[in-house]
Amino acid sequence: MIRDTLAAAVESAAAGIGLDPAAVTWTMERPARREHGDWSCNIAMASAKAAGRAPRDIAGDLVAALEQADIAHVDSVEIAGPGFVNFRLTPSWLHDVLVEVVEGGTDGYARPDVGAGTKVNIEFVSANPNGPLHAGHGRGAAYGDSVARIMERTGFDVTREFYLNDRGVQMARYAESLLARKRGEPVPKDGYGGEYVADWAAEMPDDVADAGIDAVRSWGYDRALADQREVLAAFHVHFDVWSSEQALVDSGAMDAALADLRERGHAYDADGATWLRSTEFGDDKDRPLLKSDGDPTYLLPDIAYHRDKFARGFDLLIDVWGADHHGYVPRMRAGIEALGHDPDEFEVPIVQIVRLEREGKEVRLSKRAGDIIELRDLIDEVGADVARLTYLLQSVDSQQAIDLDLVTSRSNDNPVFYVQYAHARIHSIMGKAAAAGIVRAPLADADLSVLTHEREIELLRTLSELPEVLTRAARERAPHTVTNWVRELADRFHGFYHDCYVIGDVPADLTQARLWLVDAARVGFAIGLDLLGVSAPESM
């Protein structure tokens, strides 16, 4: 890559004038402003203190040395601002990018090895199996799955996992609520009042209800899980592993975890309960593992669960949690440290809440669920692609308001259609070319040097940024940076489409080169949209 070429040239030049490039941290980056060239290096400023010289003075020597070196694609090197060394390149470097994109294709282009084979377990959604998924789960599902896709592409060995809290008080209340509804009675206090409970109770066979609360719970569990699986499938999210809390209890894994904690001296008995000494690991207070009635709290099975994940050989555990659970992070991390693991091996991205609005007012999409907005209804209304891209439009750190009027509108202010339309135009061009009997010659025969139009250059420049974007998206677990890139690619493509006709009154060699450029854009959209879990239509 060009960046490496330039960095190597800088290192060599720096060494040549008596600096030690390895001793300072410096960067080779794309300047924010185009006037500052194509690539910019801050090594002169970074070395100033150690060298005891003025940054611009060092930069001057560097530029002189770099001008002597014959570096591929470099048009000029100059000093700018406080001491930046800026490189201006000839368009040829972007023609090389085009070849790289087309030859690499969807599978081969932009595969930076960030993970180096790290085994990572990404646990997300993990909704309780006692009701349908809601819009908040949708954001977590879109995020978790997209992070998984990005990490897979960047050299991580990824497992997608769903944890089932199929044990405990919540499940008991759910079963009681189902049974009460089945019998036409009001749901008990602290029960589940959503209309889906009544609907599902109506579906429940009489013999299940007659068989008692355990049978009802079991039936209700299956019913809820089937519902969630169905919606996730419609959302194009799949899981490799479904783990059960109850199974951890039944297998003795939970007891083993507690014994482990005791052995390590991080668990103790007091006030009739058993406690985790989480304060030892930075938590505010110690947390109960076993309640005073002897039943486990949710924390102990969770610790056992994470212990199990590590036992399965994962180097890194990522739990995607909703904002309402963030206070739980310190004790979970404490539990992991208590088991002897490095806290850096456990990460918890927090997904902030989602609000759905119509005409500026909060809406409740579901008539059935009462107080929840079902993911199913959202998908039914806008489609899985639109829902996913919309969720991934912004960072999960900030709260999100989804305007349903906007999202369903077929207008300029809808970013989903903007991107999809750009993609559709690619196929429109290819279709026109085929209809006109134009055959795309082999890439090796195309003269890419004719691609010099500002729009063509900008389009290629955006394509060239994808490896860096993916590196960052993977490190920061930030799918929205990919969304931003895809939007920019769409922006560049629309501009190109508008000003640069591929077919029509253009020379044959330009048509050929542009057809390859269009194909490169297609590869870019295919990679980007796939990472977001969004398919793109070939026509609209």
Partner RNA sequence: GCCCUCGUAGCUCAGUCGGAUAGAGCGACCGCCUCCUAAGCGGUAGGCCACAGGUUCGAUUCCUGUCGAGGGCACCA
The interface with RNA within residues 350-389 (CB under 7 A) comprises 350, 352-353
Interface with RNA (CB under 7 A), residue from 139, 287, 307, 477:
287
Which of 505, 475, 494, 418 lies closest to 114 in space, CA to CA? 475
Residues 6+ apart with CB under 8 A from 372: 131, 132, 134, 135, 194, 364, 366
| Residues 182-241 interacting with RNA (rule: CB under 7 A) | none
Burial 490-514 (b: 16+ CB within 10 A, else e): bbbbbbbbeebebeeeeeeebbbbb
Residue among 366 and 481 whose Cβ is closer to RNA: 481
Is residue 149 within 8 Å of 168, Cβ to Cβ? no
How distant, in Å, are the alpha carbons of 177, 218, 301, 377 from that of 193?
Answer: 8, 19, 27, 19
Residues 6+ apart with CB under 8 A from 201: 178, 179, 181, 182
| Residues 398-427 interacting with RNA (rule: CB under 7 A) | 398-401, 410-413, 415, 417-418, 421, 424-425
Q: How far is the CB of 309 from RNA (least distance, A)?
A: 16
| Interface mask toward RNA for 111-140; x: CB under 7 A | -----------------x------------
Residue among 238 and 498 whose Cβ is closer to RNA: 498
Q: How far is the CB of 360 from RNA (least distance, A)?
A: 9
- Report if residue 498 touches RNA, rule: CB under 7 A: yes
Interface with RNA (CB under 7 A), residue from 181, 306, 487, 522:
487
The token pair at 2 is 């060009």
Residue among 256 and 510 whose Cβ is closer to RNA: 510
Q: Which stretch binds RNA (CB under 7 A): 14-22, 167-175, 375-383, 520-528?
A: 167-175
> Per this entry, what is the length of the chain?
540
Which of 288, 324, 496 lies closest to 399 in space, CA to CA? 324
Is residue 282 within 8 Å of 235, Cβ to Cβ? no
Taking only Cα atoms into account, the Rg of the chain, rounded to an integer number of angstroms, comes to 28
- Report if residue 281 touches RNA, rule: CB under 7 A: no
The token pair at 78 is 């100059």
The site for RNA, by CB under 7 A, has a size of 86
Q: How far is the CB of 134 from RNA (least distance, A)?
A: 14
Question: For the sheet containing 361-362, what is the strand order?
Answer: 361-362, 354-358, 400-403
Interface with RNA (CB under 7 A), residue from 168, 193, 370, 383:
168
Residue among 324 and 371 whose Cβ is closer to RNA: 324
| Residues 432-461 interacting with RNA (rule: CB under 7 A) | 432
Residue 26 φ then ψ, to 5°: -140, 165
Q: How far is the CB of 493 from RNA (least distance, A)?
A: 8
Interface with RNA (CB under 7 A), residue from 72, 292, 311, 343:
292
Q: How far is the CB of 410 from RNA (least distance, A)?
A: 4
How distant, in Å, are the alpha carbons of 138, 139, 318 from that of 146?
Answer: 12, 11, 13
DSSP string, 140-163: HHHHHHHHHHHHHHTT-EEEEEEE
The token pair at 128 is 């309780």
Which of 303, 319, 300 lies closest to 311 in space, CA to CA? 303
Q: Which stretch binds RNA (CB under 7 A): 203-211, 225-233, 479-487, 523-531?
A: 479-487
| Interface mask toward RNA for 136-165; x: CB under 7 A | -----------------------------x
Interface with RNA (CB under 7 A), residue from 43, 45, 102, 527:
45
Interface with RNA (CB under 7 A), residue from 244, 481, 531, 533:
481
- Report if residue 539 touches RNA, rule: CB under 7 A: yes
Max distance between CA atoms of the chain, in angstroms, equals: 89
Q: How far is the CB of 316 from RNA (least distance, A)?
A: 18
| Residues 67-86 interacting with RNA (rule: CB under 7 A) | 80-82, 84, 86
Q: How far is the CB of 402 from RNA (least distance, A)?
A: 8
Interface with RNA (CB under 7 A), residue from 63, 94, 303, 478:
478
Q: How far is the CB of 205 from RNA (least distance, A)?
A: 28
Interface with RNA (CB under 7 A), residue from 5, 104, 260, 328:
328
CA distance 314 to 316: 6
